[in-house]
Chains A and B, each alone.
Chain A
């Protein structure tokens, strides 16, 4: 492990600093809340609060650094694409964030350290979740549509508020070519995003998905740094 000795000394001092525990309760309660909301999703991972604390210490530099009392997870820096993901509630983050966090991100400064940490955790979980699309039946009543000229399965699904999957299910003998006058059965339905699985959150995960060291332009030692700090934190 080729970690810089000065960086190690900075982290050792940060861990020893009594102020380094001020966010412990916040991190723990956030993870408990996620566990209670999302534990029933397939493959929900073990969430170790000390791993997230390690990320906070590494990102901020510890209590002696200015970032500790502002953007403690360095989330929402001016050119940070992750902030826009949460603000626009895209990439599945709408399923991860609760309404309180959505509201706080929309209305409060991301430089509030507690919000910064909550947002950072939400982003890591957004990247760890695997999202898929699933059909939701809005009304089980079977309805009928008569095919008009130039209509396609796609245009019909849009115009009658159903899905191609629902049309396929309700019309198992339907061929690829539609004929005008043909009658198609359907239910009111729409597609929605659901959590279909999770990637385990190990030290390598924030290194790839939070630090973004995809092509060598992030910190190549990030995962080792997490392991170093994590190994020094009391259980």
Chain B
């Protein structure tokens, strides 16, 4: 009998909860609001994609990583800008990493962010497909690892 009561209560709670798409939309809206408030989104650019990727852990702080794909609408030719941004826990920008040539962020593990493709930090060679953040995220270095050694998502 007791089990049935629990089942009914659980059913009622599940029924009352927002649908998953609404929860995700709210999270996305929160992210967009923070990116706007903290001047990470540049006025005049057309935002095509903004997504939370994962969080790295630097000095016991969880720092979110987002990816932004934008367009420069004034240009004669359609021109693109892609970047990942490391944020503070209050979603303020710490560090930006530009992406060129189809590079995408994949997943986080400890204080490292893994990419499909090679990125450079501040345009300094050598680049790599793993970026490791230090000193609160202000300092980052890239190195190249065999993709077979990537940790499995969704670890972080």
Range, interface on chain A:
35 or more
Selected contact of B77 from candidates A58, A197, A208, CB within 8 Å: A58
Q: A78-B44, A127-B123, A133-B124 known; A214 and B75 CB under 8 Å?
A: no
Q: Is A130 an interface residue (CB 8 A)?
A: yes
The 8 Å CB contact of A219, one of B77, B98, B99, is B77
Q: Which of B42, B79, B122 lies in contact with A212, CB distance below 8 A?
A: B79
**Range of interface residues on B (Cβ < 8 Å):** 20 to 34
Q: A215–B124 contact, CB under 8 A?
A: no
Specify which of A74, A133, A214 lies most central, judged by the most chain B CB atoms within 10 Å of its CB. A214
- Enumerate chain B interface residues (CB-CB to A < 8 A): 42-45, 48-49, 69-82, 98-104, 122-126
A-B contact sample (20 more), CB < 8 A, given A81-B42, A208-B100, A214-B100: A59-B77, A61-B76, A67-B76, A74-B76, A79-B73, A79-B81, A80-B72, A130-B125, A131-B125, A197-B125, A209-B100, A212-B80, A212-B81, A212-B100, A215-B80, A215-B82, A215-B104, A218-B77, A218-B80, A219-B78
Q: 21 A-B residue contacts at CB 8 Å?
A: A74-B75, A77-B74, A81-B81, A92-B124, A131-B124, A132-B124, A133-B124, A209-B101, A212-B72, A212-B82, A214-B99, A214-B100, A214-B101, A214-B103, A215-B49, A215-B82, A215-B99, A217-B69, A217-B71, A218-B71, A218-B79
Q: Which residues of A contact B (CB under 8 A)?
A: 58-61, 65, 67, 74, 77-81, 90-92, 126-127, 130-133, 193, 196-197, 208-209, 211-219, 222
**Top 7 A-B pairs, shortest CB-CB distance:** A218-B80, A91-B123, A79-B44, A217-B80, A130-B125, A212-B80, A214-B82
